[in-house]
A = this chain, B = another copy of it.
Amino acid sequence: VSSISRIAVVGSGAVGGYYGGMLAHTGCDVHFLLRSDLSAVRRDGLTIRTGGRTVRVAAQAHGAVQEIGPVDMVLIALKATANAALEALIPPLLHDATALVTLQNGLGNEEYLAERWGAERVLGGLCFVCLNRRAPGVIEHIDHGSISIGEFHRAPSPRTLELVAALQRAGIDAKAVPNLVEERWRKLLWNIPFNGLSIAAGGATVADILADAGLRRLARDLMSEALDAARRIGHDIPDSFADFQITRSQTMGAYQPSSLIDWQLGRPVEVEAIWGEPWRQGTRADAAMPRLEMLYRLLTCLTAKGAAA
């Protein structure tokens, strides 16, 4: 018997709908917690447009976690800014061995889950994917889609490998990673400068940031600060990885980082997860991070005001 035969998805926006929907499409027993999209998904199921085809999933849609009851694994895809809602949403889903997999951005989400429901339950997934929710229950998969899954401060376990295998059977480029936190820092090396400067510079695309010599230099300096912090915390990421993050950005064109889109649409931005927590963790490890601190301070103000006026 699989240890993940019953799965719940909490936060069924684009990320939860896509990964959960693809798992359901290939036969996994997936239960979606829905709010605004509940009636649409009950009526029409989930629709995922991916790679030129349209996948229709007769999703098991629920309006409350009590309807779902205990599951073997919870995929958590809420915005990190809504984590407080998990206090009520998680307990009804738990049995003794329920795994909690956060697919959220940045740092601090695994810790949040571990403090409340025990570190042994916690896994994390890093999603490298461009998705868009086009309408209630309709998700467009634009580009990429790989996911790296790891246990929280532990090596991959049987359940990690089962989840990876289930995702692979659903056609997703999934892999298990031995050091989840290091992977998070590697991803932050890009998100910190590019998501942050896209807002702080007043609505800059990746191409805008790279084309402006001052912003490009600033992006690389922010990466150096994050790199120094990651190393002091114990992750051996080479300088060449930061250079590679700049290089690979050059093919992205006028890509708008997700935080910029959130900000422009007046949605919450994950300021604490992407900038606040890395700054705090780096500072505790005696890293000097004046640029990250400044970016964090500015983003806190800019996003508190809501969208660009």
Which residues on A are within 8 Å of B, measured CB to CB? Answer: 197, 200-204, 208, 212, 214-215, 217-218, 221, 290-291, 293-298, 300-302, 305, 308-309
* Residues of chain B within 8 A of A214, CB atoms compared: 296-297, 300-301
Minimum CB distance partner of A295 in chain B: B294
Please pick, from B203, B217, B297, B308, the residue contacting A297 in the complex, using a CB distance under 8 A: B217
Residues of B within 8 A of A301 (CB): 201-202, 204, 208, 212, 214-215
* Subset of 17 A-B contacts with CB under 8 Å: A201-B298, A201-B301, A201-B302, A202-B302, A202-B305, A203-B309, A208-B301, A212-B297, A212-B300, A214-B301, A215-B301, A290-B294, A291-B291, A294-B295, A308-B308, A308-B309, A309-B309
User: Which residues of chain B come closer than 8 Å to A290, judged between CB atoms?
Assistant: 221, 290-291, 294
- Which residues from chain B contact A309 at a C-beta distance below 8 Å? 202-203, 308-309
The A interface, classified by DSSP as helix, strand, loop or mixed, is: helix
Closest to A221 in B: B290
The distance in angstroms between the C-alpha atoms of A214 and B301, with both chains bound, is 9
Chain copies in the assembled complex: 2
**Per a CB cutoff under 8 Å, which of B200, B203, B212, B294 touches A218?**
B294
Q: Known pairs A218-B293, A218-B297; list 12 more (Cβ under 8 Å).
A: A200-B200, A200-B298, A201-B298, A202-B308, A204-B301, A215-B297, A217-B297, A290-B291, A290-B294, A291-B291, A291-B294, A308-B309
Can you list the 7 inter-chain pairs with the closest CB atoms, starting with the nearest? Answer: A214-B297, A201-B301, A290-B290, A202-B302, A218-B297, A291-B294, A290-B291
Minimum CB–CB distance for A95 against chain B, Å: 42
- Distance in angstroms between the alpha carbons of A301 and B291 in the assembled complex: 17
Bound complex: CA A197 to CA B200 (Å): 11
Rounded to whole angstroms, the CA-CA distance of A185 and B175 in the bound complex is 56
Cβ of A221: which chain B residues have Cβ within 8 Å of it? Answer: 290
Residues on B with beta carbons closer than 8 Å to the beta carbon of A197? 298
Residues of B within 8 A of A215 (CB): 297, 301
- Closest residue to A293 on the B side, CB-wise? B218
Least distance between A297 CB and chain B CB atoms (Å): 4
Determine the chain B residues whose CB is within 8 A of the CB of A294 once the complex forms. 218, 290-291, 294-295
Bound complex: CA A276 to CA B224 (Å): 23
* Distance to closest chain B CB from A274 (angstroms): 16
A293 to B302, CA, bound (A): 19
Query: Complex: how many Å from CA A308 to CA B202?
Result: 8
Chain B residue at smallest Cβ distance from A288 = B290
A149 smallest CB distance to B (angstroms): 34
Inter-chain contacts of A218 with B (CB < 8 A): 293-294, 297-298
